[in-house]
Each structure stands twice: as structure tokens, then as C-alpha cells.
Amino acid sequence: MPQRFDSINFSEDITADPEYNASLSSDRYTCPDFMKMEWEKIWTKCWIFAGLESDLKETGDFFIYDVGRESIIITRNENNNISAFYNACQHRGNKILTLDLGWVKQVTCPYHGWTYGLDGELKKVPDEDLFSGGVSCKESSLKPVHAESWAGMVFINMSPNPAPLKTFLGEIMNQLDPYHFENMELVKHQSVTLGANWKTVRDNFLEQYHVDFIHPQHASFVDCCDAQNYLWPFGHTHTCVESPVMNPRYPMPDEPPEYMAQYLKGLEINSDDYIGKVPDIRAAIQKQKRKIGKKLGFDYSELTDEQISDVFQYDIFPNLFMTIHAERVWFYGPRPHPSDPNKCIFTKFSLMIPESKIRDKDKGLELLPGSYEYQYSSSRVEHEVFTREDVVEGRNSLTATIDQDIHYLNDMQAGMHSRGFNKAVLSNDEGRLQHFHNWVDNWMSEDSLWSKVSAGK
Ligand code: FES
Ligand SMILES: [Fe+2]
């Protein structure tokens, strides 16, 4: 059975269908001119996910988001708000902060000591009287970028006057608020450089057609064939994979398979009670998680039964994927290289509910199998930066599934340069991917929906 697709509009004017039908020719992924257009029309116009609000707990905390040719400083300022500005000193342009994240009292350029406040305002110019023309504080403050936070995530927007984040994400915010990602803790932060266009990476995570082929460990346990997909305005999508279930292409076992048995054990359910009743396990888990959750102090009351058991993936245009379980979320995605369309950086943040609420080691309780793969840390986890070779040769891992994806991405990019390849042919099950590209074309057009919405806000 093919996957199902439904479109959801945000409003009468903000509709899911962009009325473009993009052709996925190879130059879309390889051409420097196309990349330049994307920079102008997408990356500098769109709200983009930049990092976590938990890295901005105290006044003076900052993190840097590098994207394309830009480096953006994001801080917690003295008014307890979030400020963002370009990481370029207004004296002669030096990139001011070079650490990934940290704490500063003020933002001081190391070259000649110009000093800015945490909101980017110019505060001090050493030997100011040497500037006979004077230095205008207003003109020489750091150039601001819009920043907004939601559910523990920080988004930035480089355009001068964008419509708010709420307009960009619409109803998606209401659907995800019950998870309370803002209460989850960062347990892993990883970045890997890839020899692939950012959209080659994007495409990989926008379809499940490949799952049976490159992720054999999922083949019998994931029912991707019947997945329900939703297409949203501005290029966002989401999909739901029921869990835990058997793939209907495989015979239904009599006994619960090992991974379901482990899941049941962690929830104090005897898996022998489900011999001959494997299709009933998903509903049993939904019910039991509410009960065990209470014991551990984790509250499922805002979540639907589906949200408790199933895996939801939300794809926020252009650079954020969220793979969501009730107890864990991954925020991940690509950002373009400064100049090469054949490269990108892929970053993944893994977050989980606090350790005491997800498991009790002594009693053997565990709300989500696999939680022991992650180590909690009282200090901020290290940002691990590595290469695709580190993944392929087993020195680092973004989980077996993503490693398998990464294995193929460089080869996808290489094939697109061949004289023997012209354009992609998509199946019906790749509808989210087509939707994303239709919206890429909408964003790139003169009369993009976002430009209309931002002009009329
Ligand atoms: S370039 Fe920053 S103070 Fe001179
Ligand atoms: Fe995959």
C-alpha cells in the first residue's frame, strides 16, 4: 500500500500547495549559481534553526551559528532577552568570536579592542580621539539579526523585516508544544562535514523508500509502507511511523521479537502475555507508559496515545529535522558550505527527558528502549566535530541508522555530476521530497509566499 499524504493549510492565505512542480535536475545540487540564488532567496530570508536556548541560560552566555559565508553571534543579553548579530567587527570587519560557545562579559574584538554590549551596541573604542571624524555608536554597533526562541530552540532570520516565527511555523507549534522539548537535556552534540549538497542530505531524510534497503535492522519492525505524511506551507512536512509494530511485508511472529520484549520488560509487562498477540503490543505500551511514567515522575498527560508510542518526524524548512519520541528528540540538519555546492555540515543535537524520569536502574524500569546509549552529564556535553571518514571507518557514530545514510550521501552527490545522469524520477512515496522542492522553487521566485506574507504583516 502506498503512503498517504494530506495537505494542511495554516490559513486561507497561507496554503500548503505552492503551485510549483519542481523538476529535480542535477544542476540544482551542483551548480554554484543555483547555490548563490538559494543564499539570497532562502537562507537570508527564512527563519533558520540555529541552536539551543539551554546554551543561553545566563546573561553573557553565547553561541555561534555559522551558515554559508555568515557567522552569527547569539547571546543572552542584560535584559534577559536573546540578541543576535553578525560576527563582524564594525571597525575593519574582523570576525570577533571564534569559540563555538561560552560566556563573555562584553563582546570585545581581539584586533583593536572595540567593545560591544551583549545586545551588540558599541560601548568602547580605544583611543577614540584618533578618529577625527568621530565614531557613531548607532552606525558602528554590530549589525543585528532577528532571533526568536520556541520550545528550547533558537531561530534566526537575516532579512530586515521578516514576519514572526509564529507565522512561519503556524499550527506546527501547537502540535509540538505538548512534548516540552524545552525541559529535555542535551545528551549529545555532533557535527560532521559531508561531501554532499545540503539538499542531497535533506532529500535523504524526506523519504522512507530507502529504509528497507539501507537500514536492514529496521526492515521488519518499521511499517514505512503505510506511513501517514502531512504537507505544510512554506515547505514544512511531517510523517508518522507507528511503533512498535511489524512491517506488514513480513510474516507476523507468534512471540514478541527481542526488541519488543525488551521494551515490555522496561515497562513491567510480561512479554509471555503477548505470545500470539503481537499486534496488541503498541496499545499496551501506550497504556502502560502513562502508569510507569507516573512512578518515575514523567507526565504524559498532554500527549495523545500516538505521541506516546509512535515516532514522529517533523521537517522544518530549510534546515531542521526533528525525530520525536515522547521522551527523546533529535534536532538535526544540514547547512550549506560557504562556497562549494558539493559540501555541507550536518549537525545533530540529541535531547532526552531527565535521567531520573526516563529510567530507574535498580528497578529495571525504562520508558524508552535504548536510553542507555546516552550519557547524561552535569556539564554541557562536548561538541564533537568529525568527518564522514570517521563515520564510515567506525571512529564516530550518529547512530547506526544515520551512519548508514551518511555512507551513501557522497555517492549520491558524485552521481549527480555524471554526464549519464540528468534528473531524478520520484515515486509516490517520495511526496515529501517533491513538496520540499516545490517550495524551494516558491522561495526562489519573485513573488514567493513568504515575501508576500512578510510585506503584509
Ligand atoms: S577590526 Fe575589530 S577592533 Fe579593529
Ligand atoms: Fe535513512
Nearest ligand to the CA atom of 116:
1
Ligand 1 pocket test: which of 90, 107, 112 has the largest number of ligand atoms within 8 Å of its C-beta?
112
Flag residues of the chain having pLDDT under 50: none
Nearest ligand to the CA atom of 217:
2
Looking at the DSSP bridge assignments, the partners of residue 408 are none
| Residue 411 CA to ligand 2 centre (angstroms) | 14
pLDDT at 437: 98
Using the atom order of ligand 1, give the atom closest to the CA of residue 114: 3
pLDDT at 223: 76
Structural domains of the chain, ranges and CATH numbers in brackets: 1-44+184-450 (3.90.380.10), 48-164 (2.102.10.10)
Using the atom order of ligand 1, give the atom closest to the CA of residue 94: 1
Tens-digit pLDDT profile for residues 170-227: 999 999 999 999 999 999 999 999 999 999 999 999 999 998 889 988 777 777 777 8
Classify 251 in phi/psi space as left (phi over 0), alpha (psi -120 to 50) or beta. beta
pLDDT at 264: 96
**CB-ligand 1 contact for 89 (6 Å cutoff):** yes
| Residue 397 CA to ligand 2 centre (angstroms) | 14
**CB-ligand 1 contact for 396 (6 Å cutoff):** no
pLDDT at 224: 74
| Residue 113 CA to ligand 1 centre (angstroms) | 6
Tens-digit pLDDT profile for residues 337-388: 999 999 999 999 999 999 999 999 999 999 999 899 899 999 999 999 999 9
pLDDT at 32: 98
Tens-digit pLDDT profile for residues 44-62: 999 999 999 999 999 999 9
Q: Is the pTM of this model over 0.75?
A: yes
Q: Scan for cell 540578541, then name that residue.
A: 83
**CB-ligand 1 contact for 109 (6 Å cutoff):** yes
Tens-digit pLDDT profile for residues 201-214: 999 999 999 988 89
Of all residues in the chain, the percent with pLDDT exceeding 70 is 100
pLDDT at 216: 84
The residue whose CA is least distant from atom 3 of ligand 1 is 112
pLDDT at 41: 98
pLDDT at 456: 86
**CB-ligand 1 contact for 92 (6 Å cutoff):** yes
